[in-house]
Amino acid sequence: MEEKKRLYRSRYHGMIAGVCAGIAEYFGWDPTLVRIGYILLSIFTVFSGVIAYLILWIVMPREPMRFLGKDVKR
């Protein structure tokens, strides 16, 4: 059975909180392009992207830890 795809903050590819990397992993995009798009969006919307990032940081769950392909409870 195929595993259900979920949106998580990236534990391994994140720069600040893993929000942009998590979005990139979910859609199969390059994290660098998502980060550049986020920066441009923040600049052109008078930094309202910062508020959106903070909200996503709080709302999006952290990616579960994986060890040898299995989830690890912490």
Q: Domain limits of the chain? A: 1-62
Between CA 68 and CA 60 the distance in angstroms is 24
Between CA 30 and CA 32 the distance in angstroms is 5
* pLDDT per residue as tens digits for the range 21-54: 999 999 999 999 999 999 998 999 888 888 999 9
Task: Enter the DSSP assignment of 7.
Answer: -
What pTM, to 2 d.p., does this model score? Answer: 0.78
Radius of gyration (Cα) for the chain, nearest Å? 14
